[in-house]
C-alpha cells in the first residue's frame, strides 16, 4: 500500500511539475505592425477563420512543432485544445481543402527571427526568447 501511495505521489508530482514549470508563452508580431489583437482574434487566426490583417494584407502564420512544450501551452490557453488536436485540425483543413492560411512550422528561435523580419508575421514563442528584442512586439502573454 505504501509503495502504491509513493508511486501515486511521484506520478502526481511529475504531472504537476510539468504544468508548474511550463514557461509563459507570448504571441509576437513585428515591431512595425501597429495592429492590436485580442485573444479571441488570435484564436480566430490560429483556427484559420481569420487570415488577413485589418489593412487586407495576408497574415504570415508561424506554428511550433507539435512536440514543443510552448505549443501545448498556446493551444491549451488559446484554443482550449491539445497540441495534437490542433495539429489534427490543420490536417483536416488540408484534406478537406478548406485551409486558407497554411502555417509555417519552425523552431521557436527561428519564429522570432522570421517575425522580426516580416511585418505581416505572427507567431508565439517562450517569453524568454522575446525579451529585449526591439524588432518584435508582444501582443499577448499566456501565463
For binding to another protein (CB under 8 A), which residues are involved? 40, 44, 47, 49-52, 56, 66, 79-80, 84-85, 87-88, 91-92, 94-98, 100
Q: Which residues pair with 30 in a beta bridge?
A: 136
| Least distance CB 87 / another protein (angstroms) | 4
| Least distance CB 35 / another protein (angstroms) | 13
| Least distance CB 92 / another protein (angstroms) | 4
Q: Which CB, 17 or 80, lies closer to another protein? A: 80
Q: Which CB, 85 or 143, lies closer to another protein? A: 85
| Least distance CB 13 / another protein (angstroms) | 19
Find, among 115, 36, 39, 32, the residue nearest to 74 by Cα. Answer: 39
Buried b (16+ CB within 10 A) or exposed e, 78-109: bbebebeebbebbeebeeeeebebebebbebe
Element housing 62 (H / E)? strand 60-63
Q: Which CB, 127 or 133, lies closer to another protein? A: 133
Find, among 84, 95, 100, the residue nearest to 47 by Cα. Answer: 100
Amino acid at each position: 500500500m505504501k509503495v502504491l501511495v509513493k508511486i501515486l505521489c511521484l506520478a502526481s508530482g511529475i504531472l504537476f511539475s510539468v504544468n508548474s514549470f511550463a514557461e509563459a508563452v507570448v504571441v509576437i508580431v513585428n515591431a512595425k505592425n501597429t495592429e492590436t489583437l485580442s485573444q479571441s482574434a488570435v484564436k480566430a487566426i490560429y483556427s484559420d477563420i481569420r487570415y488577413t490583417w485589418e489593412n487586407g494584407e495576408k497574415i504570415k502564420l508561424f506554428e511550433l512543432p507539435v512536440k514543443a512544450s510552448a505549443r501545448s501551452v498556446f493551444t491549451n490557453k488559446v484554443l482550449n485544445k491539445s497540441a495534437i488536436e490542433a495539429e489534427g485540425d490543420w490536417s483536416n483543413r488540408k484534406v478537406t481543402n478548406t485551409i486558407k492560411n497554411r502555417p509555417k512550422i519552425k523552431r521557436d528561435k527561428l519564429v522570432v527571427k522570421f517575425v522580426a523580419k516580416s511585418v505581416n508575421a505572427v507567431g508565439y514563442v517562450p517569453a524568454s526568447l522575446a525579451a529585449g528584442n526591439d524588432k518584435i512586439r508582444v501582443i499577448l502573454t499566456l501565463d
